[in-house]
Amino acid sequence: MTETDYYELLQVERTADDKTIKSAYRRIAMECHPDRNPGCKDSEARFKSVSEAYDCLKDPQKRAAYDRFGHAAFRNGGHGGGGAQDFGSFSDIFENIFGEFMNGQADRRTNVLRGSDLRYDLEISLEDAYHGKQVELQIDTSVKCEPCEGTGAKSGTSARTCTMCHGRGQVRAQQGFFVVERTCPSCRGVGEVIADPCDRCRGEGRAEKRRSLEVRIPPGVDEGTRIRLSGEGEAGVRGGPNGDLYIFVHLARHSVFQREGTTLFARCPVSFTVAALGGTIEIPGLDRATHEVKIPAGIQSGKQLRIRGAGMPILSGRGNGDMVVQVEVETPTKLSSRQKELLEEFRKTETGDECPASKSFFGKLRSLWDG
Residues belonging to the binding site for Zn(2+) are: 145, 148, 162, 165, 184, 187, 198, 201
In angstroms and rounded to an integer, the radius of gyration of the C-alpha atoms of the chain is 31
Tell me the binding residues.
145, 148, 162, 165, 184, 187, 198, 201
d(CA 337, CA 349) in angstroms, rounded, equals 19
Name residues whose C-beta falls within 8 Å of residue 235's C-beta, 6 or more positions apart in sequence.
115, 141, 142, 143, 144, 150, 205, 206, 242
Q: Quickly list DSSP for 40-80.
A: -HHHHHHHHHHHHHHHHHTSHHHHHHHHHHGGGGG-SS---
d(CA 153, CA 99) in angstroms, rounded, equals 29
User: In degrees, to the nearest 5, what angle opens at C-alpha 274 toward C-alphas 285 and 303?
Assistant: 65
d(CA 239, CA 243) in angstroms, rounded, equals 12
How buried is 301 (Cβ within 10 angstroms: 0-12 exposed, 13-18 middle, 19+ buried)? Answer: middle
Which H helix or E strand runs over 347?
Answer: helix 337-349
What are the helix and strand counts (H, E) for the chain? 10, 16
d(CA 108, CA 124) in angstroms, rounded, equals 40
